[in-house]
Structure 1
């Protein structure tokens, strides 16, 4: 399940996955805190919550040793539940980034996402109840996408109320199933698509527009992100008790003041 998405960049190639042990991971965080006086960190891991035992073991170590650090990671809505989120929060987690991508089970199935809309709704509800800020990353211009799919995206975002929304124009990565199925997209053209997919989708729709509709992708993404990323509804992000406590005890307070 880790790399079965047919649009993701790290497609599984008959290779195993090497996972860190909770002890090893905790020791590295403890080292960074001791040597570099860190007060927060973010796991650069496509799916940190894949292994429930590893995550719970790490969180228990963080709690047991009273690390008082705040942190965040990327997750998937069907790899966490209320209890695991509760434990993560107790261990200092204040932010989770979710690749929601689409707003219908049909579209998620086409992308081989492996998740359901009901799981998205439940997970965001749990995050809001626990006070963990939840980010939603969405995809538009996916193959076969219709105007109704865009409306479904609008409706879902209104319902789950992410703290931050990112809407990205679909880019097919080389080596994925979708890249292989694109209409004449060459490897030479791929860098162009990465540089400005919105512009290319508008100027060369025969190759770079994968959706069925003709909606202005850039305008749609800009409008919806402005709608959901307003400063006032998200002001609570900066007043998270764990964040403020970590800031107060930080060895780097003077640097933060200078930078502001």
Structure 2
């Protein structure tokens, strides 16, 4: 039903209504969103949907946006960040639909009957998402925090920070040390927020970063690289070539967008 309702809208970016389903999944996690593009018929549609799915703000990115922008700047700025994201998704979809070979297909599918979700299924799905954080993300946070402290104590971070300092300071307008947290974000996006707490030694990031820097950092985190699990899903569905192309393109785009925001804000 959602596919039929959104079909006309999705055709504006070269996809049909079924592509809306994996995009919706992306708000929870980009991995099932990318894997969900299997329901699409052609390689062109799968490529377009996969690219757009990686741009959808997943729950991990939402944590970063709310933890940085929402708490310290207010809900109005959260909406602004999301509007930027949705505009980017639309423009990227529009652009790729023009240059990607092939043509947009019509939608033909059977509408299934409505079914009431059962409590057991809801609980199983909830635990499936929660255990991923408990078993995977939490150990990374602990180990990552420990490694950061060791690197800080022995001074190994100084060289790296000094190397990226001109670029981060002048072009992006960010504290150079934030570059370290973005590395952890490749593993899981929400790690960028927790690593910021560890790096600056405070949860009140507004005392060490300006509102402008919080917005720029959030936007860069939103776009700069799919997490490693999403990259693996892209590689599985599209192959190394397309997965690498998507990842590098998004990284370049995120940096350029961050630089533009630094100029206009």
Higher fraction of helix: 2
Give the TM-score, by structure 2 length. 0.23
More strand, by proportion: 1
